Every structure is written in structure tokens, then in C-alpha cells.
């Protein structure tokens, strides 16, 4: 127990807002699995973030439990880590509000993810989407996290989290640990298979542009064979060949094979065999996970047990930080 308390803390989360992609898996989940021995980890299903855009209630329910199953199937051990659902810990919403009152409209308006989404949804965006990064800051700061393992697209949200924490610490007194992003060297930005200048995203309109964690093997093979590449015809890790570079990254992260070795293996061979091998690597990585997800998802009692135990621990830690913050702000203790 003592040893556990001296471990550094990790917090991360994924939205249950759509089907998870290979980008989510390689940029976040696979990386989390490697960290669970060394750190005290909190892995959250961020349903409060998911409702910043409209969600069908029954789909949200299904996806929340599916995401928990995916966490476990990917190798996150529920006995060693705290797995929980964000809305089960009211301190996230409460601290979110308190931090909102310590955050400027201007800094939120500069967030690129907000700018992208507001462009896509026009006038129909919620105030929640604007305030999204503040809730994310609350998630992280409640647990006094040292590290936050995420993909590159979340880097700006980590920067604002640090700014908010520093501002609060300076205005009152040291309260929050200042967290660092933990971004993997490879796989932190898996690109769209049809347009490798964009990141792979579950919200793309074209299903051929992403691989889903739950895509059946034959779908994965078809999507990889249709990946947009180039007419150069040489397997090379180069910015001039973004499609090939992306497939090489995927192969590297899954198999551990270096880029030099991949280049050598496919010398003089064109793209067909290479694409085929990338597809097989993805299939052999995802197929066992899919089988486990399908078993877990039907065991509602097991899942309930995990998210309830997780929420209990998370509530305890989160409330400690929240009470401190409330006191410093000047609220009367209950
Ligand atoms: P979300 O749900 O969009 O994505 C979950 C994680 O997947 C990573 N990711 C990618 N990595 C590599 N390549 C890609 N194409 C790719 N697409 C997504 C994301 O960087 C992320 O790590 N705001 C967060 C959820 C969140 C959170 C938090 C994360 C809420 N509170 C606190 C960390 C800590 C998000 O929308 O992730």
C-alpha cells in the first residue's frame, strides 16, 4: 500500500461518443497498457465530454459499456487501475464550474479543437463544447496527476490545463500539481487513410478513412488495400509520401519493427505486399481484443462491479481535492 502511494499518478480518458478508431488505440490505449505497472493510473470514460455534441441516450449507454470492455480487453487490468465513468464522480462537474470562473473566454476561443468543431456544427454548438477544456482540466487536476498520456491532438488542452492550474495556485496558494502531457514517440497522430494530411477521426464521413477497433478482419483488409498512397512506388519513411509514412507508423507501433527494417523488407516490391502485411498486423492485434470485448460486453454484472469499485476510489480522491479548492475559494465548509 505504501509503495502504491509513492507512485506517480496518471490520468487519461476517452469519449464514448462514437466507435473507437485505430488512432485512439495506438495513440492512447496501447500506450496506457504499458504504463500500468509503473504508475497509479486513473482511466476514465468521459461521458460528460461526450454530451457536448448530441448523443442518442441508448447509444451513449451502449458505447459507455463497450468502451469499458475495450479498456479491459486491450489489457488494462481493473484490479491494478482505477477504471470509472466520469459522471459517477460529481466532483468533475463541480470543479469544472469553479475552474470556469477562473478561465478566460479568450483562451477558450483559441482552442483549435473548438474552432474545428464550431466550424463543422455551425450555430448548433453547445456552450459545453466551448467549456470542454475546462472540464478536462478538472478531470486531470482532481487526481493531482503527474502525467497525462494522450495523442498529439490533446496537447493544446494540456497546455490550458497547466495554465489554469498555475493561475489558481498563484491566486490562492499551491493546490494543484502541474501535469505534463505524455505523448508517445510514434503513433501519437495516426492519419486519415484517404487524406493523410488529416488525423484519423471517428467523426469522418467516409468510413474508408478510418479503421475501427471493432472492424471485422475483412473490413480492415479492404480499408487498408484502399489506402491512398502515391505513385512513387517505394516504401520509404518520408514526408513526401504521407500515406506510406502513416502505414509504416502503424506497422512500427504494432510490431516494433524499425522504419529502416521496414524499408529494407520491402525494397523493390511496390505497395501490394506491404499493404497486405500492414493489414495482417492490424488484424492480429485487434482480433483478440474484439473477441474479449464480445465476451465482456454481455457480462453486465462484471462490468458494473468494475465501474462501481472504480467510482468509489475516484470519488474519495477527487473529493479531497475539491474540498481543498472550495475552502480556498471561501466557501463555508459543510
Ligand atoms: P478522444 O476521445 O477524442 O480521444 C481519445 C484519445 O485518443 C487520441 N487520439 C489519437 N491518437 C493518435 N492518432 C489519432 N488519429 C488519434 N485520435 C485520437 C487522443 O489524443 C486521446 O488521447 N479530450 C479528450 C478526452 C479527455 C481527456 C481528459 C483525456 C477528457 N478528459 C483528461 C486526457 C485527460 C478527447 O476528446 O479524447
Task: Tell me if residue 202 is catalytic.
Answer: yes
The residue whose CA has the least distance to atom 22 of ligand 1 is: 150
> First and final CA of the chain: distance in angstroms?
30
Q: What angle do CA 70, 74, 75 make, to 5 degrees?
A: 125
Cβ neighbors of 1 (< 8 A, separation 6 or more) are none
Contact between 37 and 78 under an 8 Å Cβ cutoff? The reply is: no
- The pLDDT, as a whole number, for residue 122 is 78
Residue 2: which pLDDT band, with cuts at 50, 70 and 90? very low
Phi-psi region of 150 (alpha: psi -120 to 50; beta: other; left: phi over 0): beta
Span 140-182, pLDDT tens digits = 999 999 999 999 999 999 999 999 999 999 999 999 999 999 9
Q: Which 3-state string (H, E, C) describes 90-127?
A: CHHHHHHHHHHCCCCHHHHHCCHHHHHHHHHHHHHCCH
Contact between 282 and 220 under an 8 Å Cβ cutoff? The reply is: yes
Residue 138: which pLDDT band, with cuts at 50, 70 and 90? very high
Cβ neighbors of 42 (< 8 A, separation 6 or more) are 9, 10, 11, 12, 81, 82, 84, 143, 145, 314, 317
| DSSP SS3 for 231 | coil
Task: Tell me if residue 34 is catalytic.
Answer: no
- Please tell me the distance from the alpha carbon of residue 327 to that of residue 333, in angstroms, as a whole number: 7
- Of the candidate CATH numbers 3.40.50.2300, 3.40.50.620, 2.60.40.1120, 3.40.50.11540, the domain formed by 9-188+300-329 belongs to 3.40.50.620
As a CATH number, domain 207-293 is 1.10.240.10
Span 270-303, pLDDT tens digits = 899 999 999 999 999 999 999 999 999 999 999 9
Q: What is the pTM of this model?
A: 0.95
What residues does each domain of the chain span? 9-188+300-329, 207-293
Query: Is 151 annotated as belonging to a binding site?
Result: yes
Tell how far the Cα of 269 is from the centroid of ligand 1, in angstroms: 36
Cβ neighbors of 287 (< 8 A, separation 6 or more) are 217
Kindly state the helix (H) or strand (E) to which residue 83 belongs, with its residue range: strand 82-85
Tell how far the Cα of 4 is from the centroid of ligand 1, in angstroms: 26
> 265 φ, ψ to 5°?
-60, -30
Amino acid at each position: 500500500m505504501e509503495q502504491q502511494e509513492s507512485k506517480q499518478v496518471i490520468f487519461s480518458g476517452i469519449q464514448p461518443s462514437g466507435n473507437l478508431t485505430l488512432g485512439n488505440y495506438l495513440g492512447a490505449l496501447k500506450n496506457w497498457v504499458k504504463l500500468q505497472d509503473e504508475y497509479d493510473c486513473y482511466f476514465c470514460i468521459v461521458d460528460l465530454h461526450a454530451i457536448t455534441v448530441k448523443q442518442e441516450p441508448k447509444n451513449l449507454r451502449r458505447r459507455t459499456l463497450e468502451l469499458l470492455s475495450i479498456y479491459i480487453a486491450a489489457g488494462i487490468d481493473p484490479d491494478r487501475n482505477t477504471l470509472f465513468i466520469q459522471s459517477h464522480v460529481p466532483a468533475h462537474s463541480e470543479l469544472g464550474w469553479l475552474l470556469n470562473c477562473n478561465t478566460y473566454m479568450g483562451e477558450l476561443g483559441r482552442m483549435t479543437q473548438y474552432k474545428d468543431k464550431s466550424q463543422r456544427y455551425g450555430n448548433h454548438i453547445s456552450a459545453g463544447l466551448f467549456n470542454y477544456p475546462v472540464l478536462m482540466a478538472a478531470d486531470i487536476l482532481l487526481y493531482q496527476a503527474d502525467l497525462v498520456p494522450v495523442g498529439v491532438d490533446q496537447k493544446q488542452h494540456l497546455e490550458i490545463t497547466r495554465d489554469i492550474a498555475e493561475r489558481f495556485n498563484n491566486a490562492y496558494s499551491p493546490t494543484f500539481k502541474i501535469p505534463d502531457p505524455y505523448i508517445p514517440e510514434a503513433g501519437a497522430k495516426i492519419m486519415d487513410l484517404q487524406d493523410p494530411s488529416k488525423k484519423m477521426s471517428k467523426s469522418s464521413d467516409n468510413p474508408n478513412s478510418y479503421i475501427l477497433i471493432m472492424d471485422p478482419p475483412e473490413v480492415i483488409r479492404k480499408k487498408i488495400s484502399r489506402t491512398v498512397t502515391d505513385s512513387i512506388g517505394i516504401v520509404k519513411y518520408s514526408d513526401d509520401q504521407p500515406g506510406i509514412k502513416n502505414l509504416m507508423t502503424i506497422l512500427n507501433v504494432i510490431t516494433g519493427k524499425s522504419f529502416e527494417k521496414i524499408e529494407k523488407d520491402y525494397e523493390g516490391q511496390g505497395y501490394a505486399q506491404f499493404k497486405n502485411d500492414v493489414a495482417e498486423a492490424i488484424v492480429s492485434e485487434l482480433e483478440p481484443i474484439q473477441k474479449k470485448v464480445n465476451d465482456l460486453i454481455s457480462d453486465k454484472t462484471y462490468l458494473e462491479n468494475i465501474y462501481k469499485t472504480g467510482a468509489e476510489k475516484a470519488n474519495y480522491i477527487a473529493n479531497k481535492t475539491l474540498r481543498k479548492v472550495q475552502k480556498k475559494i471561501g466557501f463555508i465548509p459543510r
